Structures are given as C-alpha cells and as structure tokens.
C-alpha cells in the first residue's frame, strides 16, 4: 500500500490481546488501525473520527457485532463492515451479512485470508463513494437543467408577449399611415414605410422561429412508425409554389423510420424549402431526396445543385442566426437549420452537410429505423 493513503480500520474485539495483535499486524501491512474492546467505546470513537472499514467480533458481552454494525452504519453510511467469528458461529456470521456485513473472517486469523477480504471491502467502499459522488453530480445537473428550463420558459414568455406587442404596434401604425395618408406622403416616405413593413414582417418571422426553436427542447416526442416516402411527397405538395418551374425533383426509395411525424415533417420541410430557395436562380435546377444504408443505419439526404456553401464554414451551418449567404440574395432568419439539427438530435440521430460554392449542397441525417419501433 506504499504511495497510497492508508485505509483506516476500526477493530472491535472484547479480547484485548486479539484486538491488539490484529491492530499491530494490519498496521505493519500499511493500514491505519484503531482498536476498542467494547462496542460502545467503538461507537464513541466513530463519532469522533472517520474510518473506512469496521472489523467487529460477532460475540461480545456489551454489544454483539451485528448490533454494533447496524448502529455504526447509522453513524456513517459509507462504512463497510466485516464480522469476525469462530468456526462454530459461521452460520450466524452469514446471517450477519444479510443485515449489512459485507463479509466475515474466521478466528484464529490468517493474514493470507484477511487481506483479500479487506481489499474487496475497500473496493466496495470505493464504488459506493463513486456512486454517491455520481448521484450528487446528477442531482446538481438536474437542478441546473430545471433552472435552465425555467429561464427558457421566461425567455419564451418574454418573446411571446413583450416583443410581439410593440411589433404589432409598429405594423399597425405603418398600415394606418399608408391607408389614411398615402396621397399626402412623398414617394420617399412611402418607400421608407414599405421598408418598415418588410422588416417588421421579418422580425415577426424571427420571433416565430425563435419560439419554435425554444419549444423543441420541451415538446414531448410522440413516436410511431413513419412512412417516410409518403411524408416527403406530402411536404413536396405543400411546397410546390416554392419550386420554380424548371427545377426537377427526384424522390428515391425511402425506408420507413421511427419518430415523431410532425417534427420529421418539419425536418424535410425546412431542408426541401432551403433546397428550392438556393436553386431558384440555377438553370436546370435539381433537388433530390434519397436514403442509403451506411454502416448499419439509414442515412437520409436532401441534395441540390444550387448556390452551395464553403466547407470551411460547415461547422456554423446549424448554429442559431448563422447565415452563409447575404440576406439580399436569399431571404431567411438563420434558424431553420438549427431547428432541423435539434429535431434530429432529439431522435437520437446525427446530421451533417457537404457542399461547394455554386456546386450545390447535400444534407445527410440519420433516424431510427422502423424496426426499433
């Protein structure tokens, strides 16, 4: 045990000679030992000092080893107890183990038999302490998450009420100015009011997307078997107005998956909407949805041959408010991909992207297979 902190062992035996002999023997083996000849004195010592192990004689006149062990663990729940007994009371020692003793050792003592028991007891104590520390960290982490959720709820409330109200006022007063005073307004004023209306609408969309993003962490998942191909075709039907004439759309064989249909619909809607947006200025634009089996999991993808992006900035794609293209070229709030990322993560999947400037982009993501349902 050299180089380690000595384990502290409390030894209790009403036979003083045996107690002292065991204390001295274990002390020579590197243990820090303290001995008592009565259970009451041992309990008093335990209340004063910290010990790792308790070695208690089973049969003692003032307090038997089982009672001592039970009381000692009430004083220190981390204490690991071992009963010492003679050959004739082994059955009683086994019963003692049922009440909390980890093990027993037989008298007369043999060092070769004692040390393995002590080593195992110390190992059990170490595991107990690590488990307790882990549970404490888990409780602390849980408290932190609850506090964070309360802050998020307060943030959501602020967005829902405190930001929407002045925005509605800006929009309403702008509309009143245009409707009631349009003929008296110079062209420059009408232009500025138009910009106010446009930016108010953009702010409204930002708020709605932020609310949707913040609620994703709290919204419970309602998972079921999802016919992915049917879901994608429904999304495409809804987005057909965004698809400029001339953009070809190809949907490959899509495996069924297991997840929340409404959230997965949002994943495909956001990715396909982006694909249409970034290919609308491309002649012979192409959007493709597919699925392939890769290393035992289904990988879905949405590919286009549009504006693409620089792979040096790929790590920023899924961050909130991150945009890799100018707002004057492509509208958007920079939250859509963050929402997609959060949904895929909540389903236990991964998402990543590949692309090149003016050569298109492909977004890959994994989802649980329908067999998991």
pLDDT digits (tens, 9 = 90+) for 197-212: 888 887 777 777 667 6
Please state the domain count of the chain: 3
Q: What's the pLDDT band for 320 if we cut at 50, 70, 90?
A: low
State the average pLDDT for the chain: 83
Choose one of 92, 109, 126: the last residue of a domain.
Answer: 109
Split at pLDDT 50, 70, 90, the class of 323 is low
- Band (241; pLDDT cuts 50, 70, 90): low
User: Of 61, 90, 109, which residue sits at a domain end?
Assistant: 109
Do 74 and 199 lie in one domain? The reply is no
The percent of residues in the chain predicted with pLDDT above 90, rounded, is 32
Q: Are 260 and 221 in contact (CB under 8 A)?
A: yes
Based on the fold, state whether residues 367 and 237 are members of the same structural domain.
Answer: yes
Mean pLDDT lowest among 155-164, 256-265, 332-341 = 155-164
Give the model confidence (pLDDT) of 2-60 as tens digits: 446 789 999 999 999 999 999 999 999 999 999 999 999 999 999 999 999 999 998 89
Please state, in angstroms and rounded to a whole number, the distance separating the CA atoms of residues 305 and 276: 10
Write out the residue range of the structural domain in which residue 22 sits: 8-109
Instruction: Count CB neighbours of 276 within 10 A.
Output: 21
**95 has a pLDDT exceeding 80:** no
Backbone angles phi, psi at 159, to 5 degrees: -65, -45
The SS3 of residue 53 is strand
Q: Which two tokens stand for residue 118?
A: 């002590």
Q: How far is CA 276 from CA 23, 338, 352, 373, in A?
A: 81, 18, 19, 32
Structure confidence at residue 330 as a pLDDT band (50, 70, 90): very low
Determine the average pLDDT of the residues in 214-222. Answer: 71
Q: Do 244 and 296 reside in the same domain of the chain?
A: yes
| Domain identity same for 21 and 92 | yes
Domain membership flag for residue 124 = no
In a domain, 120, yes or no: no
Q: Are residues 158 and 211 in the same domain?
A: yes
Same domain, yes or no: 236 and 323:
yes
Q: Average pLDDT in the 284-299 region?
A: 87
**What's the length of the chain?**
373
Residue 21 lies in a domain: yes
187-216 and 164-181 helices, crossing angle to 10° = 160
Residue 160 falls within a domain, yes or no? yes
**Percentage of the chain modeled with pLDDT above 70:** 85
**Whether residue 308 sits in one domain with residue 211:** no
Q: What end-to-end distance do the CA atoms of the chain give, in Å?
A: 52
> End of a domain among 216, 246, 272?
216
pTM over 0.75: no
Q: What integer pLDDT is reported at residue 4 of this predicted model?
A: 61
Same domain for 291 and 323, yes or no, is yes
Q: 286 exposed, middle or buried (CB, 10 Å; 0-12, 13-18, 19+)? A: middle
């Amino acid at each position: 045990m050299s180089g380690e902190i000595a384990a502290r062992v409390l030894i209790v035996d009403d036979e003083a000679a045996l107690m002292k002999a065991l204390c001295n023997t274990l002390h020579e083996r590197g243990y820090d030992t303290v001995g008592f000849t009565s259970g009451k004195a041992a309990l008093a010592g335990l209340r004063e000092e910290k010990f790792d192990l308790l070695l208690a004689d089973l049969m003692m006149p003032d307090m038997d080893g089982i009672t001592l062990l039970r009381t000692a663990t009430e004083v220190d729940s981390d204490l690991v107890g071992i009963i010492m007994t003679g050959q004739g009371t082994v059955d009683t020692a086994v019963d003692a183990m049922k009440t909390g003793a980890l093990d027993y050792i037989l008298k007369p003592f043999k060092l070769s038999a004692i040390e393995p028991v002590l080593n195992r007891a110390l190992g059990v104590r170490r595991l107990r302490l690590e488990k307790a520390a882990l549970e404490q960290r888990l409780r602390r982490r849980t408290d932190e998450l609850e506090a964070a959720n309360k802050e998020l709820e307060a943030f959501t409330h602020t967005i829902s009420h405190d930001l929407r109200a002045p925005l509605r006022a800006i929009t309403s007063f702008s509309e009143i100015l245009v409707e009631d005073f349009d003929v008296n307004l110079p062209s420059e004023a009408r232009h500025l009011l138009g910009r106010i209306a446009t930016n108010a609408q953009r702010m409204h969309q930002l708020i709605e997307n932020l609310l949707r993003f913040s609620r994703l962490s709290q919204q419970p998942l309602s998972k079921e078997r999802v016919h992915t191909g049917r879901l994608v075709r429904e999304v495409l039907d809804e987005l057909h107005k965004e698809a400029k004439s001339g953009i070809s759309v190809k949907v490959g064989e899509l495996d069924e998956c297991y997840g929340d249909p409404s959230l997965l619909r949002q994943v495909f809607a956001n990715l396909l909407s982006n694909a249409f947006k970034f290919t609308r200025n491309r002649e012979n634009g192409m959007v493709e949805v597919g699925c392939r089996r890769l290393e035992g999991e289904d990988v879905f993808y949405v590919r286009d041959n549009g504006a693409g992006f620089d792979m040096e900035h790929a790590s920023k794609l899924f961050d909130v408010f991150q945009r890799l293209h100018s707002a004057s070229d492509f509208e958007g709030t920079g939250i859509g991909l963050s929402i997609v990322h959060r949904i895929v993560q909540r389903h236990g999947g991964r998402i990543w992207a590949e692309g090149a400037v003016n050569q298109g982009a492909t977004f890959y993501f994994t989802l649980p297979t329908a067999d998991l349902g």
